Amino acid sequence: MRSVLVHVDGGARSAVRMRVAARLAHEEGLQLTALFAAAPPLVDAPFGYSAGGMATPLLESVYRRWRDAAFDAAESVSRTVPVAWADLGPEAPVAGFVRQALHADLLVLGQHDPGEPQHAVPAGFVPAVLLASGRPGLVLPRAGPVGTVGRRVLVAWNRSPPALRALSAALPLLRHAEHVAIEEWAAHDDAADADARESLDAYLGAHGVTAAYRRHAAGRRPVGERLLARAGELEADLLVMGCYGRPRSLEWMLGGATRTVLGRMALPVLMCH
């Protein structure tokens, strides 16, 4: 891991994302870039065009205020680590952010807040970026303080490519963790399970990571709910998981762990598709 790209949109949580990213950059020696990505408010104003010249200056001032607040958030950590600044300008937030994300090792994003009075990005910004870029994203919760990240880690394991990609992306953090719990909710053949466990231990050991493994029987309670409850029990400050292991359309129609976690998370979550 060498570079981290932080989404800033002028909202109150932009500063939180910058502080967390700055700590990671300082601890891991990462290059830190703050990228301002926001949709001009004109597109969300139902009477923006009919109001003509009266509405346009007001909406432009709102957009400038978002950008200024985002820049201030980036500047607030510049005494700790060097910060590069980038601005998408009029480019669509999702497409523009994905284009920049392809060249970053880690993205720092924010959970959607339905209570935010002004939405600078669409509600599906985070899942769209994760799916389109394929890059690991550290998603921070929409409320509450964010202290340490990665001291006590819960890894959601289901032996899938997305889960392995998320685990691989988290390795730099896991090496410094005080406790790593890898937990799986599934029913498998005992012999196959033993082989898989041995392979996983060998993989982690090669990267200097020791983890406690636990397998839970599959149950009726949705995995996403069980994951978040288990994170609370372990007092975890980071959840690592693959996202959208099945088509996103099925996730939204039938529900799924990704959707549950993105909607209800109260701790940082490192996700990868």
- Per-residue pLDDT tens for 119-147? 788 899 999 999 999 999 999 999 999 99
- pTM, rounded to two decimals: 0.90
Work out the percent of the chain whose per-residue pLDDT is above 70: 88
pLDDT surpassing 70 at residue 188: no
How far is the C-alpha of 148 from the C-alpha of 146, rounded, in Å?
A: 7
Q: Looking at the domain 3-140, which fold is it?
A: Rossmann fold (3.40.50)
What is the pLDDT averaged over residues 92-96? Answer: 95
Helices and strands (H and E) in the chain: how many:
10, 10
| E strand segments, 102-161 | 106-110, 137-140, 152-156
Q: What is the three-class DSSP state of 255? A: coil
Q: How does residue 250 score in pLDDT terms, banded at 50, 70 and 90?
A: very low
What is the pLDDT averaged over residues 12-33? Answer: 95
How far is the C-alpha of 121 from the C-alpha of 142, rounded, in Å?
A: 14
pLDDT surpassing 90 at residue 103: yes
What CATH number was assigned to the domain covering residues 152-272?
A: 3.40.50.620
Closest-CA residue to 55 (of 44, 47, 64) = 47
pLDDT surpassing 80 at residue 217: yes
Q: Where are the alpha helices (DSSP H) in the chain?
A: 14-28, 48-51, 55-75, 93-101, 125-133, 161-174, 190-206, 223-234, 248-254, 257-264
What is the pLDDT averaged over residues 202-215? Answer: 95
Q: What is the pLDDT of residue 245?
A: 66
Number of Cβ atoms within 10 Å of the Cβ of 17: 24
pLDDT surpassing 60 at residue 251: no
Q: Which residues of 125-147 are buried (b: 16+ CB within 10 A; e: fewer)?
A: bbbbbbbbbebbbbbbbbeeebe
In which residue ranges of the chain is CATH 3.40.50.620 found? 3-140, 152-272
Q: What is the mean pLDDT of the chain?
A: 89
- Greater confidence (48 vs 171) lies with 171
Q: Computed from CA positions of residues 233, 235, 240, 246, in that sequence, does the dihedral angle turn out positive or negative?
A: positive
What is the pLDDT averaged over residues 220-226? Answer: 88
Check residue 153 and report its DSSP letter.
E
Q: Computed from CA positions of residues 256, 262, 264, 266, in that sequence, does the dihedral angle turn out positive or negative?
A: positive
Q: What is the three-class DSSP state of 211? A: coil
Closest-CA residue to 169 (of 238, 216, 93) = 238
pLDDT surpassing 80 at residue 118: no
CB of 93 closer than 8 Å to CB of 128: no
Q: How does residue 203 score in pLDDT terms, banded at 50, 70 and 90?
A: very high
